[in-house]
Amino acid sequence: MASELARRGADAEDRALDYLQSHGLHLVARNVHTRGGEIDLVMRDDQTLVFVEVRCRQRRDYGGALGSIDARKQQRMLHAARVWLSRHPKDAMRSLRFDVVAFEADAGAQWLRNVLDVAAP
């Protein structure tokens, strides 16, 4: 079961990466693990550094993929971004954005830009 979930998650990240690259974003890093958080994709959109959360749900129950990004998940995203920026200080000078790419059931990608309203993490 866990390996099935990991495979589905990796497939969703592959699809999200392809989707974002087809819209002109460039991959900086993937699966950045930090203590207390993870960044699925770090992308560059012109001069903006974009931290991307990829969500995939087979069903739309309980709010679906987008509904799964609760306050706790948002805090983990911010924490992981802070760690990234402490490790890559040049990136701290860039504009920052937090995006979500969500997949639900058999639907295509939903790309939500700037989902967290923060000046800097």
pLDDT of residue 108: 79
- What is the C-alpha separation between 65 and 103, in angstroms, rounded? 7
Q: Where are the domains of the chain?
A: 2-112
pLDDT tens for 94-110 read 999 999 998 876 777 88
pLDDT of residue 39: 93
Give the H/E segment covering residue 27: strand 26-34
- Cα angle for residues 97, 15, 21 (degrees, 5° grid): 55
pLDDT tens for 44-103 read 999 999 999 998 876 555 555 556 667 888 888 899 999 999 999 999 889 999 999 988
Residues in the chain: 121
- b/e per residue, 3-30, with b = 16+ CB within 10 A? eeeeeeeeebbebbbebbeeeebeebee
Fold entry, domain 2-112: Trna Endonuclease; Chain: A, domain 1 (3.40.1350)
Instruction: Classify strands 95-104 and 48-57 as parallel, antiparallel or unpaired.
Output: parallel
With a cut of 50, say whether residue 121 has pLDDT above it.
no
Q: How many alpha carbons lie under 13 Å from residue 55 in its C-beta half-sphere?
A: 23
